Amino acid sequence: MKKIILSLILSVILLFTTNIPIHANESFTDNQIEIQKEILGNGNTIITTIQYDSTRSSLLRNSTVSGSKKVDYLNANQQIMWTFTVHGTFSISGTSVTCTSASHTVSILGSGWNTISSSSGKSGNSASASAKVGYYSLGILIQSIERTLTLSCDSNGKLS
């Protein structure tokens, strides 16, 4: 009888202390993933990140996923001069994914920087946006940077 009780207690302890990975229902909420860091020759840095704005689950075959892909442009002192973001919302139905909305934002934070042009659109399972940002000194364009961002979604709700 003691062996049965001891075995039962050990089984319960083992059950509660064992981590069992469950990949079939993997969920991510409001997470941000850095996907690229580019250090330019002048010491400035461009960091690209993906942000999930909503929960996604690989078990939910009929769902909506929204998120964004963002570029931060940092000067040599690692201060953000401007950011450029493409936002997308995606509808998942079985293995079919459709981008239902796409938009973009350009935020200027550093002195002398201005938005020259920007646009966004959607196609299939992707949201994309383009922006041209310029640095001006005394009203003269010194430097311009163009970026195109594409945010795609697969049938598991993974953004890339």
What are the Cα distances from residue 6, in Å, to 9, 13, 15, 109?
5, 11, 14, 65
Q: Where are the domains of the chain?
A: 29-152
DSSP letter at 159 equals B
pLDDT of residue 111: 93
Other Cβ atoms closer than 10 A to 97 = 20
CATH fold label, 29-152: Immunoglobulin-like (2.60.40)
Provide the Cα torsion 5, 11, 16, 21; round to 10°: -170
pLDDT of residue 23: 28
Tokens coding 50: 């993906």
What are the Cα distances from residue 48, in Å, to 35, 68, 115?
6, 10, 18
Tokens coding 18: 């064992």
Which residues does residue 58 pair with via DSSP β-bridges, in sequence order? none
pLDDT of residue 79: 94
DSSP letter at 55 equals -
Return averaged pLDDT per consecutive 10 residues of the chain, 160 residues in all: 52 38 34 79 89 63 86 93 95 91 96 96 96 95 94 90
